[in-house]
Amino acid sequence: MATKANIVIDQGSTFDVTFDLTDENGDPLNLIEYTVSSQLRKHYSSTNSVSFSCSTSGANGNVTIALTANQTSSIPNGRYVYDLELTNIDGTVSRIIEGIVTVTPQVTR
């Protein structure tokens, strides 16, 4: 079951957040054999999506998702859903984090 983590993105600003992933013993998850992907959508069934840039720290269990200021500028303010998935080199996919994204409106343009 995925961990719930809600995030806030300021429209027009560079965004990034790092998640510290651990195993059942609390040790950092070794991500060397994994790729990471993450998207946000208005609703679970929406066909339009925004893909986060994703990176890992390898054996340290850190996953960072990010959006550029240009990307966040193009997202209308409001409430969205997102998730983050790990794919092992054998093709096994696991959803590890999911939640609500709140995009706050930009004033300065």
- As given in the structure block, the two tokens for residue 55 are 């990176």
38-95 pLDDT, tens digit per residue, is 999 999 999 999 999 999 998 899 999 999 999 999 999 999 999 999 999 999 999 9
CATH number of 50's domain: 2.60.40.10
> In this structure, is residue 109 part of a structural domain?
no
For residue 37, is pLDDT > 80? yes
Number of domains comprising the chain? 1
Query: Is 16 among the domain residues?
Result: yes
Q: How many residues does the chain have?
A: 109
Those residues whose C-beta lies under 8 Å from the C-beta of residue 3, and which sit 6 or more positions away, are: 96, 97, 98
Contacts of 45 (CB under 8 A, 6+ apart): none
Instruction: Tell me the residue range of the domain where 86 lies.
Output: 3-104
